[in-house]
């Protein structure tokens, strides 16, 4: 990917971020830091993915809906319900809040949420015939559009009592996400997040899915950058204030190898059919660290 130099602005001109402030008192210092990092070989974010204060507030409001939906699922999910029922909850609560479920009809996806059970890595399609049973683990991945702003997060749920191995997987993956979050700092590298998560997963005997990762999110459902969890410290894109992206490693109890359902072309499974787990948070890089927007 070729990163072209950004256009130089007069210090008194309106800032490129559309904040309404003069460039010299808004992003001039920011640009100077990134220009120096680019000279040293770093991959810097394009201006198009840096959010201003107004946009960040819009994403926060969207995230409140997303969080409320997942909170409702957490209170009501249980053995005996279908994944189709989860889809109905998500649609009803989201639309009642004046928002839109982002997955619905996205590139042909037929439902309002992804429900990924046991060996399903991601993009499980809710179904009237899929009934949750004691011992299942399930990822519910919810995404919301409110007034044009996107939020995205997912949670794992254990249905009743499960095996010690599945319970440990769910907790360990949560801990991996938290460890990755601790690496989100202004002018650090996305590879710092990836290496911590990968090292922690491997130490617990798991493997991280390579082909699917996190992504920018806020003004679009999926933006730059791609967030890998098999990356190395000091590599990948610089994390600059105003960037919003997801941390969502998919971690398998067995092999990292996966395959996509040849019939629906959406649902992704572990190749060895061992369980997989994923937690997803949406995070904003700030001047002093980070802010979790959706969880």
In a domain, 73, yes or no: yes
Q: 283 in a domain, yes or no?
A: yes
Residue 248 counted as domain residue: yes
What would the pLDDT profile of 49-100 be if each residue is shown by its tens digit?
Answer: 999 999 999 999 999 999 999 999 999 999 999 999 999 999 999 999 999 9
pTM (predicted TM-score): 0.94
For 171, residues 6+ apart whose C-beta sits below 8 A from its C-beta are: none
pLDDT at 3: 42
Q: Which domain holds residue 120?
A: 47-294
Q: What is the pLDDT of residues 71-81, one digit of tens each?
A: 999 999 999 99
12-52 pLDDT, tens digit each? 999 999 999 999 999 999 999 999 999 999 999 999 999 99
Is 16 within the bounds of a domain?
A: no
3-class SS at 164? helix
236 DSSP 8-state letter: S
Residues 6+ apart with CB under 8 A from 93: 65, 68, 69, 72
| Domains identified in the chain, total number | 1
Would you call 131 exposed, middle or buried from its count of C-beta atoms within 10 A (0-12, 13-18, 19+)?
Answer: middle
Please say whether the beta carbons of 154 and 248 come within 8 A. yes
Q: What is the pLDDT of residue 9?
A: 74
The backbone region for 18, taken as left when phi is positive above 0, alpha when psi lies in -120 to 50, beta otherwise, is left
Per-residue pLDDT, 39: 97
C-alpha to C-alpha distance for 141 and 217, rounded to whole angstroms: 14
Residue 6 confidence class, pLDDT cut points 50, 70, 90: low
Q: Specify if 182 maps to a domain.
A: yes
Integer angstrom CA distances of residue 52 from 144, 161, 186, 244, 290: 20, 45, 15, 11, 15
Q: pLDDT digits over 159-188, tens only?
A: 999 999 999 999 999 999 999 999 999 999
The verdict on residue 41 lying in a domain is no
Containing 279, the helix (H) or strand (E) segment is: none
Q: What is the CATH number of the domain that holds 79?
A: 3.90.230.10
The CA distance from 256 to 270, in Å, is: 7
Q: At what angle do helices 164-181 and 190-203 cross, to 10 degrees?
A: 160
The pLDDT confidence band at residue 8, using thresholds 50, 70 and 90, is low
Per residue in 152-167, pLDDT (tens digit) is 999 999 999 999 999 9
Q: Is residue 133 scored above 80 in pLDDT?
A: yes
Tell me if 103 is assigned to some domain.
Answer: yes
């Amino acid at each position: 990917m070729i990163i072209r130099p950004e256009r130089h602005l007069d210090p008194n001109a309106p800032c490129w971020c559309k904040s309404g402030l003069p460039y010299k008192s808004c992003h001039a210092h920011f640009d100077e830091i990134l220009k120096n990092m680019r000279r040293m070989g770093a991959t810097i974010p394009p201006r198009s993915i840096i959010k201003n204060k107004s946009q960040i507030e819009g994403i926060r409001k969207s995230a409140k809906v997303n969080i409320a939906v997942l909170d409702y699922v957490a209170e009501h999910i249980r053995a005996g319900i279908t994944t189709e029922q989860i889809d109905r909850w998500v649609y009803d609560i989201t639309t009642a809040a004046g928002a839109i479920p982002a997955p619905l009809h996205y590139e042909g996806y037929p439902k309002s949420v992804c429900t990924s059970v046991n060996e399903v890595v991601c993009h499980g399609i809710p179904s009237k015939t899929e009934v949750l049973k004691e011992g299942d683990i399930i990822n519910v991945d919810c995404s919301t559009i409110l007034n044009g702003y996107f939020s995205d997060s997912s949670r794992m749920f254990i249905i009743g009592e499960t095996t010690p191995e599945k319970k440990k997987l769910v907790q360990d993956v949560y801990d991996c996400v938290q460890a990755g979050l601790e690496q989100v700092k202004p002018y650090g590298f996305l590879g710092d997040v990836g290496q911590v998560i990968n090292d922690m997963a491997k130490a617990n005997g798991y493997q991280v899915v390579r082909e699917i990762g996190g992504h920018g999110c806020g003004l679009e459902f999926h933006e730059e950058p791609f967030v890998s969890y098999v990356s190395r410290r000091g590599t990948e894109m610089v994390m600059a204030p105003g960037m919003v992206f997801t941390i969502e490693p998919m971690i398998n109890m067995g092999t990292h190898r996966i395959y996509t359902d040849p019939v629906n072309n959406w649902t992704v499974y572990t190749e060895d059919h061992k369980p997989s787990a994923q937690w997803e948070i949406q995070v904003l890089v700030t001047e002093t660290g980070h802010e979790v927007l959706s969880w």
